[in-house]
A and B are shown apart, each in its own frame.
Chain A
Amino acid sequence: MIIGKPLDRVDGPAKVTGAAKYAADQHIPGLTHAVLVTSAIARGKIIRIDTGQAARSPGVLSVITHHNGPRFAYQPPKHPWIYGQTHVPLQNDVIYHSGQIVAVVIADTLERARYAATLIQIDYAVETPEISVEANLDKAFIPERGPFNLRYEYRRGDAHGALATAPVRVSGRYRTSMQHHNPMEPTATTAVWDGDHLTLYETTQALAFTRQKTAEMLGVDQKQVRVVSPYLGGGFGAKGYVWPHTFITAAIARSLGRPVKLVLTRAQSYTMHGHRAETVQELSVGATRDGTITAFVHSAVSQTSMLNEVSWEEMDATTQLYACPNAELTRRVVRLNLGTPTPMRAPLSVGGYALESIMDELSHATGVNPLELRLRNYSTHNPENPSQPWGTGKFLRDCYELGAKLFDWPHRLPRPRSTRRDGGWIGVGMATAFHPTYVSAATVSIRMDADGKALVRSATQDIGTGTYTIVTQTVADALGVPAKSVRFELGDTNFAPSAPSIGSRTAASVGTAAHHAGSALKDKVIAIAVADHRSPLYGIPAAQVTAADGQLFHRLDPRRRETYADVLRRHGPVDSEAVWPAAPGISRSYGAVFAEVTVDDATGEVRVTRLVGAFDIGRVLNAKTARSQAIGGMIWGLGTALTEHTIVDEHLGRILTANLSGYLVPVEADVPDVDIAFVDKADPAASDIGAKGVGELASNGATAAIANAVCHATGRRVRDLPITPDKLL
């Protein structure tokens, strides 16, 4: 068995030697370069745009504004579905947010395009932008659910009644900030037309989305569009949906008759493909004196844009994690002159932060140890549907146990603000991690050649998480061959259509399809061998033949054997293909996260000194890549808790932190050693290979665990993220 082993990334050598070609690395003859000019105001109109000087600048091929901008065959709907946003720039003079595309310069070199872009003069009629959630709370409204069926309202039992009569009631108002994805690889599009066929080299987490939506906008058939994206330097949601810069670049390339490349600058990545919405959440919990929860009332407001009404910050942890008969959840949005939000890292994590904070507050109020409190309210059945047991879909108890042991979680928690070390207050905190994970149709095809080597293909993505590696392992096991006999190619719509890399679904979906394709291929080869009188396996019932290490052999008489290559040399190549799942599915992943912090209460600086996460992600497919994802996710949770915050100028509506020195992602020196444990029990209900999602799950839990630890250290509950030093004084 290779599955589960910490196999090194099979794509590692290509990445570290530079052989891996990312979207912006393609050398295309005759390539031209696009540079975006973006709006300097957040609300108003363009009254004059002078492109004369830019157009005359050396090397410039075209300058595009709303006057001569590409017109599209289609308009993204009000609920943009897998379009990132409804608004298509360059169609008229209206400005909805700062950083909106207002012109595009195309030149023969990047430098000349950049220079010419600075020569464009724009006059605006400026209006005062709305940029504050707090100032607009009275205008908050419940949006329509839209095609994603996002849930904005939920009720069971009588939550308000139960809260009013609960012996213990705790309420909190929590704020989380606007955040940006910041993958290392900048977003890039290269559009190359050959007649009426388009090839797009694209940074995308979803080849199929890009293909479908680009074709739709351009008024061509999907078959005329090929999307190529073999490597991705992270995406975290920013590259999940289809944003205007992609189809605008393709449309310009078509009218120009030249290939066009666009690479967003870091600053542009703060306004071109969404962000995590700021939220203000009011959450109340009612309980008996022993901590048995009787009611949750959760009401949240998050930002959305002027043309879209959407909030991705689902808060289902409140209604699905703990056993509790009465619950109410309401989510509303306010429109601001900022871009349209999009899923980031783990959409449920901001609601999960509030829930796991109020659990900590309840623990303080009842005197029940935070861990014990969570066990007391453990749900064995879906609280939204009590006839549905969680079954193999939930091994959260194991997470609590593993994590508590690794961390040495105290049975009796010292009083808040009672422990000092090296001049700082020490505190510990914990939280449950919870996130839905999905599966959707993936197709995997395999061809085995006469050399016994398997070429596996699927139009899916490896966003840096390890898809190349885990699929290689899965197929190797299904076939009974060593991993080096398997080569996996992905990232090209010429391959069989497959799952998008959003919603933590790739491993379970593509992995299972790969497993089935591998098993089917093995069965075919066995059938050929046992029917071939030249084979040592001739005449053996197929069910008695199996494979290991590239050899097919009789289970009862292993001396009767031959290699895959022996069979295929006689017979020729064999193909197989499998699709899984037949219908989309949802399951849930769980975890328990424990943190220790030191707080300097004179300066307010917080240092995380220990971080432990124990996760139930079903079956672990690769111990190393899963661990890396878990660590990465927890570091994000740390960033959300302590450092990350997109700051917007309150008058101009401009993002003030549009770079990595202003937007503070945690650095190595902020991160302690992170200990990870996995339950590693298969969940056959999630996928046939027993795997479910890990990526989003792992960035839940750490934020609340750290915030709870800060409260334990200092005795002060900061309910406003990130917990920067000034908030602790």
Chain B
Amino acid sequence: MEFLRPVSLGEALEMKAARPEAVPIAGGTDVMVELNFDHRRPAALLDLTRVAELAEWSRDDSVVTFGAALPYTRLINELGTDLPGLAIASRTVGSPQIRNRGTVGGNLGAASPAGDTHPVLLASDAVVEVASARGTRSIPASEFYLGVKRNALEPDELITSIRLPKATGPQQFAKVGTRNAMVIAVCSFAISLHPNESRAGAAIGSAAPTPRRVRQAEDFLTEVLDWESPQALPDSAKRRFGELVASAAEPIDDVRGSAAYRKHALAVLARRALGWAWDAYREGERSCA
């Protein structure tokens, strides 16, 4: 096996163009597991850890852009205030060791339906920036996940960065696991309130072949939420929201949980996360007023 070690993005893209079968490796927390289990025997690995551009971030008034190879620990510490939903999700990934190595780029590259950052990226209108020697593309998160562990990357492309709006309202992420840490989600849910657009984004994970947005449930919120003079949400509305979220799921039975349990739990997570986010929004409005 060849181990390619580019030191710049340009070099990395050239290598990828020359060897499209080379498997990128960032934190390696997915790749090394696959190699250990012999699920995959690539002819070449393309090490991204020396490409400085991929571990940087920048922000302006409204948008944060961070490199695909920025480890979770740095994301939490350095961008947690601007991207609270992503920080909450990142804190639930694996253990400290995994968070020191693992990256959002890797989560996207693996495109597991259970990856913890996906629902947040979907709910927060993230855009995945990809590049190849041919040029660059911006892929909205909602168009990025194509199937179980399949994404929209072309063989010669790398994920370079993730761009998403700074939070303008409360964001929440919740997951159910069979233990308290080091656990693959049985199901997960994210919600981001976008008060400036008078709408909310919501998405589910580990409950369908791909992470997905729950549009009907989002539309329902557009109808019922009064952003100008926010009122306490009646339980019936939260419940209805939960039902709509669960109805968007197409879960399976597996060793982690049954399909029926996943649907049930998603409704609960959605109801609660909406309650927390909306209460936080009302709280914020009151203190501004």
Q: Is the interface of A mostly helix, strand, loop or mixed?
A: loop
Closest-CB distance, A256 to chain B (whole angstroms): 25
Closest partner residue, chain A, to B256 (CB atom) = A662
* Cα(A643)–Cα(B269), bound, Å: 21
Select which of B176, B178, B265, B272 is within 8 A of A643 by beta carbon. Answer: B178
* Cα(A114)–Cα(B41), bound, Å: 13
Contact present for B181 and A669 (CB under 8 Å): yes
Tell yes or no: A150 within 8 A of B by CB.
no
- Chain B residues with CB under 8 Å of A725's CB are 176, 178, 186, 257, 261, 265
Closest partner residue, chain A, to B33 (CB atom) = A661
Within 8 A of B (CB), among A581-624: 602-605, 607
Contact count band on B = 20 to 34
Contact present for A667 and B38 (CB under 8 Å): no
Closest-CB distance, B265 to chain A (whole angstroms): 5
Q: A647-B255, A726-B257, A726-B258 are in contact. Are A603 and B265 (CB under 8 A)?
A: yes
Tell yes or no: A185 within 8 A of B by CB.
no
- Chain A residues with CB under 8 Å of B268's CB are 602-603
Within 8 A of A (CB), among B219-258: 255, 257-258
- Chain B residues with CB under 8 Å of A662's CB are 255
Tell yes or no: B184 within 8 A of A by CB.
yes
- Chain B residues with CB under 8 Å of A24's CB are none
Contact present for A118 and B38 (CB under 8 Å): yes
Closest partner residue, chain A, to B95 (CB atom) = A667
Tell yes or no: B59 within 8 A of A by CB.
no
Within 8 A of B (CB), among A639-669: 642-643, 647, 656-657, 661-662, 664, 666-669
Q: Is the interface of B mostly helix, strand, loop or mixed?
A: loop
- Contact mask A696-729 → B, CB, 8 Å, 1/0? 0000000000000000000000000000111001
* Cα(A133)–Cα(B193), bound, Å: 50
Closest-CB distance, A598 to chain B (whole angstroms): 12
Tell yes or no: B286 within 8 A of A by CB.
no
Contact present for B261 and A668 (CB under 8 Å): no
Tell yes or no: A670 within 8 A of B by CB.
yes
* Cα(A607)–Cα(B178), bound, Å: 11
Tell yes or no: B134 within 8 A of A by CB.
no
* Cα(A114)–Cα(B38), bound, Å: 10
- Contact mask B91-127 → A, CB, 8 Å, 1/0? 0000100000000000000000000000000000000
Closest-CB distance, A722 to chain B (whole angstroms): 9
Closest partner residue, chain A, to B271 (CB atom) = A602
Most buried by A among B178, B183, B258: B178
- Chain B residues with CB under 8 Å of A670's CB are 179-181
Closest partner residue, chain A, to B242 (CB atom) = A602
* Cα(A603)–Cα(B176), bound, Å: 8
Closest-CB distance, B274 to chain A (whole angstroms): 14
Tell yes or no: B40 within 8 A of A by CB.
no
Select which of A114, A664, A729 is within 8 A of B178 by beta carbon. Answer: A664
* Cα(A185)–Cα(B106), bound, Å: 30
Closest-CB distance, A602 to chain B (whole angstroms): 4
Closest-CB distance, A365 to chain B (whole angstroms): 31
Contact present for A667 and B264 (CB under 8 Å): no
Closest partner residue, chain B, to A649 (CB atom) = B255
- Chain B residues with CB under 8 Å of A726's CB are 257-258, 260-261
Q: A118-B38, A603-B269, A647-B255 are in contact. Are A729 and B264 (CB under 8 A)?
A: yes
Select which of B180, B255, B264 is within 8 A of A656 by beta carbon. Answer: B255
Contact present for A669 and B180 (CB under 8 Å): yes
* Cα(A645)–Cα(B33), bound, Å: 22
Contact present for B180 and A607 (CB under 8 Å): yes
Tell yes or no: B182 within 8 A of A by CB.
yes
* Cα(A689)–Cα(B261), bound, Å: 54
Contact present for A664 and B261 (CB under 8 Å): no
* Cα(A666)–Cα(B272), bound, Å: 26
Contact present for A724 and B178 (CB under 8 Å): yes
- Chain A residues with CB under 8 Å of B272's CB are 602
Contact present for A657 and B255 (CB under 8 Å): yes
- Chain A residues with CB under 8 Å of B269's CB are 603
Closest-CB distance, A401 to chain B (whole angstroms): 32
- Contact mask B158-189 → A, CB, 8 Å, 1/0? 00000000000000000010111111101000
- Chain A residues with CB under 8 Å of B186's CB are 725
Select which of B176, B255, B264 is within 8 A of A605 by beta carbon. Answer: B176
Q: A605-B176, A666-B179, A670-B179 are in contact. Are A729 and B255 (CB under 8 A)?
A: no
* Cα(A656)–Cα(B179), bound, Å: 18
Closest-CB distance, A725 to chain B (whole angstroms): 7
Select which of A114, A607, A642, A661 is within 8 A of B182 by beta carbon. Answer: A661
* Cα(A114)–Cα(B36), bound, Å: 11
Contact present for A669 and B176 (CB under 8 Å): no
- Chain B residues with CB under 8 Å of A656's CB are 255
Within 8 A of A (CB), among B172-222: 176, 178-184, 186
Contact present for B179 and A643 (CB under 8 Å): yes
Q: A657-B255, A725-B265, A726-B261 are in contact. Are A664 and B183 (CB under 8 A)?
A: yes
* Cα(A725)–Cα(B178), bound, Å: 8
Closest-CB distance, B49 to chain A (whole angstroms): 23
Contact present for B181 and A664 (CB under 8 Å): no
* Cα(A725)–Cα(B268), bound, Å: 13
Closest-CB distance, A645 to chain B (whole angstroms): 9
* Cα(A604)–Cα(B95), bound, Å: 24
Q: A602-B268, A603-B176 are in contact. Are A668 and B181 (CB under 8 A)?
A: yes
Closest-CB distance, B229 to chain A (whole angstroms): 28
Within 8 A of B (CB), among A339-369: none
- Contact mask A668-679 → B, CB, 8 Å, 1/0? 111000000000
- Chain A residues with CB under 8 Å of B181's CB are 667-670
Q: A725-B261, A726-B258, A729-B261 are in contact. Are A667 and B182 (CB under 8 A)?
A: yes
Closest-CB distance, B181 to chain A (whole angstroms): 4
* Cα(A118)–Cα(B186), bound, Å: 32
Closest partner residue, chain A, to B184 (CB atom) = A661
Closest-CB distance, B112 to chain A (whole angstroms): 12
Closest-CB distance, A3 to chain B (whole angstroms): 38
Closest partner residue, chain B, to A602 (CB atom) = B268
- Chain B residues with CB under 8 Å of A657's CB are 255
Closest partner residue, chain B, to A267 (CB atom) = B37
- Contact mask A381-400 → B, CB, 8 Å, 1/0? 00000000000000000000
Closest partner residue, chain B, to A722 (CB atom) = B178
- Chain A residues with CB under 8 Å of B265's CB are 603-604, 725
Closest-CB distance, A21 to chain B (whole angstroms): 24
- Chain B residues with CB under 8 Å of A607's CB are 180
Closest-CB distance, B256 to chain A (whole angstroms): 8
- Chain B residues with CB under 8 Å of A604's CB are 261, 265
Contact present for B179 and A667 (CB under 8 Å): yes
* Cα(A729)–Cα(B180), bound, Å: 19
* Cα(A602)–Cα(B266), bound, Å: 10
* Cα(A607)–Cα(B269), bound, Å: 17
Closest partner residue, chain A, to B265 (CB atom) = A603
* Cα(A726)–Cα(B182), bound, Å: 20
Closest partner residue, chain B, to A607 (CB atom) = B180
Closest-CB distance, A184 to chain B (whole angstroms): 14
* Cα(A661)–Cα(B179), bound, Å: 11
* Cα(A118)–Cα(B40), bound, Å: 13
* Cα(A643)–Cα(B181), bound, Å: 12
Q: A647-B255, A657-B255 are in contact. Are A664 and B179 (CB under 8 A)?
A: yes
Can you report 15 A-B residue pairs in the complex whose CB atoms are below 8 A from each other? A603-B268, A605-B176, A647-B255, A657-B255, A661-B183, A664-B179, A664-B183, A667-B183, A670-B180, A725-B186, A725-B261, A725-B265, A726-B260, A726-B261, A729-B261
Q: A725-B186, A725-B257 are in contact. List 10 more A-B contacts (CB 8 A).
A: A602-B268, A603-B265, A642-B179, A643-B179, A647-B255, A668-B181, A670-B180, A725-B265, A726-B260, A729-B261
- Pairs of residues from A and B, 9 with the lowest C-beta to C-beta distance, nearest first: A669-B180, A726-B261, A669-B181, A602-B268, A670-B180, A667-B181, A647-B255, A667-B182, A656-B255
Residues of B within 8 A of A (CB): 38, 95, 176, 178-184, 186, 255, 257-258, 260-261, 264-265, 268-269, 272
Residues of A within 8 A of B (CB): 114, 118, 602-605, 607, 642-643, 647, 656-657, 661-662, 664, 666-670, 724-726, 729
